[in-house]
Structure 1
Amino acid sequence: MKTLFLQAPSFDGFDGGAGSRYQARREIKSFWYPTWLAQPAAMVPGARLLDAPVEELSVEATLDIAAAFELVIIHTSTPSFPTDVRFVELLKARCPAMLIGLVGAKVAVDPADSLAASSAIDFVAREEFDYTCKEIATGRPLAQVAGITWRDADGKLVHNPPRAMIEDMDELPFVAPVYQRDLKIERYFIGYLKHPYVSIYTGRGCRSKCTFCLWPQTVGGHRYRVRSAANVIAEAKWIKENMPQVKELMFDDDTFTDSSNLPRVHDIARGLHELGWTWSCNAKANVPYESLKIMKDNGLRLLLVGFESGDDQILHNIKKGLRVDIARRFSENCRQLGIQVHGTFILGLPGETRETIAKTIAFAKEINPHTVQVSLAAPYPGTTLYRQAVENGWLQPEEGGHLVNDKGVQLASISYPHLSREDIFHGIETFYRSFYFRPSKIWEIVREMLGSWEMTKRRLREGVEFFRFLREHQA
């Protein structure tokens, strides 16, 4: 079937792709690659991948493009689901014979209610959906496709048997050729990555049990299944030869540096160095010094690290598997080796108080990552955090989908008897101002700008967007 893999139009600047940890508008305009749509797109001959938010396509323009296809598969999320359903209904009204399906964590954890939301949706995919999409695109009857919930001719919802996890990750084709063919890679910005960048996965799943983290608890699972080092290096070589404008590779695995994976990381690093790559990756704040040095000596530039909190009790509450003293030592090791760190923090996790917020801000200033991102605790359905929030009355079940406002900005969904949503929400402004409006941090940013006219232009644009975010957030 002529197949379109689609990130549907949504809020202005909304990053809803599967590579996004939080589907929302950012403080500065940022977009992750829609890797989890690119993967099945690489498996369906003649398919197209369209990222409408990144291309700033209107609903009408996207409908015009989608109308040329027989099968449309849309990635959806809890925040974007209402607008995605409206788009599906408009598309079905224009093309009644079209087959339309939804994929993503939202429909994986709640397939029945997701499908029941509109008769225009023909099926939703559960579990990993790469081969699910491929089988449907080849024309296999929905009744014979594992891992979907679908609507039969009588309108009855049918739950097919589950689909097994993919074990041989090397059997999946590269996603980079799909990026090159279908996406405008210059439109993908991440403030702490070189531009243009490319992000890929070298594996799926995460052994950590963080209660708030969406993908391991819904689609990816807790077993870390990886591609071989040779396979990863082969895709890096393809990108180097076919996408010469790319300045940095980002490995977007939930925890690329998992302790079970370090020998493979060392092999990948050495292979990337031979190819002349600058690269970055996600990491937990417990990577040993010896591994950090091997990575740095072989082209590593930056680590994206989820510190989450500066309070040990909160880290214990969310099953982070980390202590503040370990994170502090890790940060010092990175500083000694010259590895930049982009630190992410979350406000409003179980155990949060005004005092712990102040403690986390002080910790962030102490370890001083090059840049930070501060998010609000997001109880996505399907996560342990969501169940805890409902069971303890921190969140009403009917409010489970209220994760962003009508402009796509993240909301504080959880409240506690001692700490209101408003306190948590406005804690973000306090955090950012305390961290960035220090003379030492301002000078650090200015010094970075002085070294490059390109960086100067970029930081000025981001600065305008950041101050606009602070004003809107405060209002």
Structure 2
Amino acid sequence: MKRVLLFNSPILFSDRKDIFEAHYTGIRYGIASIAGNLRRNGIEVKILEPHYQTVEEIRDIIRRFEPALVGIPAYTTEIYDAAGTAELVKDVDPRIITILGGAHITALPGETMDNSPQFDIGVLGEGEETVLEIARGKDRESIDGIIFRSGPELKRTTPRARISDLSELAEPAFDLYKLENHRNMKFYGGSGLFLPVESMRGCPFACVFCFRTIGRQPTYKDPVSFVNELESYVDRYGLRHADFIDGTFGVNKDNALAICNEIISRGLNLKFRWSANARADTLDEELIDAISRAGCTYLKLGIESGNDAVLEKSSKGITTAQIRSVVRICRAKDLFVRGNFIFGLPGDTEETIGETIDFAKSLPIDHVNFAILVPFPGTEIYRWAKRGERGYSLESENYQYYGKQLGGALRNSWLSSRQLQLLQRRAYWKFYLSSPRRMREFASFLNPGKALQIIKRLFTGVK
């Protein structure tokens, strides 16, 4: 049977431009899930975490394991590192089949394969069943959801149907990671083993800045099955914090309430803490109360703007009044809240961004992420910029510059990149210096190795 080696992330070769979005070293749920599905079907699989090995050690692991297939994931900002990783794999053994997965290849399959000859196959969308069929040696033309090389040509197959019941998937193979590397993660409520978990996939909303890699139709895990998984992680691994990676927890209120009630009924809310992504229009007092009682300590709210006209033009589908109401309830339930904001959205001006900064300061939230709009491939913003529509155009197609804390990838006709960068720094400065508590929270989560760089960028404007 073929052996499969999965990289948790690409090897870091390039000089990442974004000091805020440092090379991600946490466990990637998608890789763990693909590994679990392969193992359940009798295929030997290994997960490699390149952050914890030297390049020579990685070469040696590949030589000793002798995989037939190597899978590498990549976000847009990682695509050059992913190509470098595949090149290293081919250098060790050119017979190895290299597979690329993730949002970038899903959004730009042809361009990515044209620009990255190191890859043999691209997996588009969900990867569990697709990678299994590749590993079993199924004829590539009959494998749905891939793009592959056939001589000098690229061939793309029929899109793969979505996995309708996520409960049918194998449990993610977290045990294939060196979990000791992930046991000292800091989070609200303490520190300890931090694992990503998933109760649903898909996003039904139409925000112009977001690429829905999986699709718009939500699919779910059965609440009891999902909580069985959580209980298993507590018992087997000593889970202390679960990060729900669902695009929006609460899209299906009944499902979310069932999860919370199941956690509470088993007493798991006393054994681990969790965090989730949310929107103001999918939360109400009943659900927030259940979330809090079930052990959630941290909600990440997609707020985006403090101006209602900008929210409407961005197809966000929420209002500042809804946001203010939900944040007030979260504070009353002792939930920590991070507000996520974006500068440069349709209709944004220096004045509206000033309103957003003031709005953020006025909310009882603990952390903020002030991003500069990025034209990620697959988004409506990317399509507008590519066609030069609505005042947008592409400043750069060098994906190293597509970090959300950078700016520089997108040009618009009313605010320069430099203006957006200065407004972003002003926003961080005004928010975190608005109270001693916020400054303490900011300092407590700084990576010591990056602290000086971050402080210089935020408070002095030095790059």
**Partner SS, residue 338 of structure 2:** strand
1:410 aligned to 403, 406, 411, which one?
Answer: 406
Matched, 1:10 2:7: no
C-alpha displacement at 1:111, in angstroms?
A: 1.5
Structure 1 residues 211, 461: CA separation in 2 closer, same or farther (over 3 Å shift)? closer
**TM alignment of 1:69-468, pairs within 5 A:** 69-152=67-150, 154-175=151-172, 178-184=173-179, 186-187=181-182, 189=185, 194-196=190-192, 197-214=194-211, 216=212, 219-244=213-238, 246-258=239-251, 261-273=252-264, 274-275=267-268, 276=270, 277-286=272-281, 287-392=283-388, 396=393, 399-402=396-399, 404=401, 410-438=406-434, 440=435, 442-443=436-437, 446=440, 459=444, 462=447, 465-468=450-453
Bigger mean CA deviation after superposition, 222-231 or 266-275:
266-275
Bigger mean CA deviation after superposition, 287-296 or 118-127? 118-127
Distance 1:26 1:233, change over 3 A: same
Alignment partners' CA distance in 1, 2:180 and 2:279: 28
How far apart in 1 are the matches of 2:134 and 2:312? 43
| CA–CA separation in structure 2 for the residues paired with 1:252 and 1:93 | 35
- Per-residue CA deviation, residues 9-62 of structure 1 (Å, 9 max, x unaligned), is 126897xxxxxxxx9542688654311111111111221222323x2x343332
Q: 1:248 to 1:159 in 2, by over 3 A?
A: same
- The CA distance in 2 between the partners of 1:293 and 1:397, in whole Å, is 44
In structure 2, distance between residues paired with 1:91 and 1:27: 26
SS of match in other structure, 1:431: helix
Q: CA 1:182–1:76 in structure 2 vs 1: closer, same or farther (change >3 Å)?
A: same
Contact 2:393 2:411 in 1 (8 A): no
TM-score by length of 1: 0.86
Determine helix, strand or coil for the equivalent of 2:84: helix
Name the Cα RMSD after superposition: 2.7
> Against the structure 1 CA distance between its residues 29 and 116, is the aligned structure 2 distance closer, same or farther, given a 3 Å change threshold?
closer
Counterpart CA distance in 1 for 2:360 and 2:59 is 45
Shift of 1:145: 1.5
Aligned to 1:17: none
Distance 1:398 1:72, change over 3 A: farther
Distance 1:75 1:332 in 2: 38
Residues 1:35 and 2:29 are matched in the alignment: yes
> Cα gap change, 1:118/1:337 in structure 2, threshold over 3 Å: closer, same or farther?
closer
Contact kept? 1:25, 1:408, Cα under 8 Å? no
In the aligned structure 2, how far is the partner of 1:348 from the partner of 1:11? 30
CA distance in 1 between counterparts of 2:118 and 2:400 reads 24
Corresponding residue pairs, total:
444
Residues 112 and 256 of structure 1: is their aligned pair in 2 closer, same or farther, counting only changes over 3 Å?
A: same
Deviation of 1:379 after TM superposition, in Å, equals 0.7
Superposed displacement of residue 468, structure 1:
1.9
Q: CA deviation at 1:305?
A: 0.7
* Structure 2 portions without partners, runs of 5+: none
Which digits, 9 at most, give the CA deviation of each residue in 1:311-365, with x for residues without a partner?
A: 1111111111100111011111111221211111111222221111111110001
Identity, in percent, stands at: 25
Structure 1 portions without partners, runs of 5+: 15-22, 450-457
Native 8 Å contact 1:49 1:183 kept in 2: no
1:79 partner SS? helix
The one-letter amino acid of 1:247's match is R
Is contact 1:150–1:159 with CA below 8 Å preserved after alignment?
yes
CA 1:118 to 1:294, structure 2 compared with 1: closer, same or farther past 3 Å? Answer: closer
Alignment CA distance shift 1:206-1:118 (3 Å): closer
Alignment-derived partner of residue 474 in structure 1? 462
| C-alpha spacing 1:191/1:364, structure 2 compared with 1 (3 Å) | farther
Name the SS of the counterpart of 1:315 in structure 2.
Answer: helix
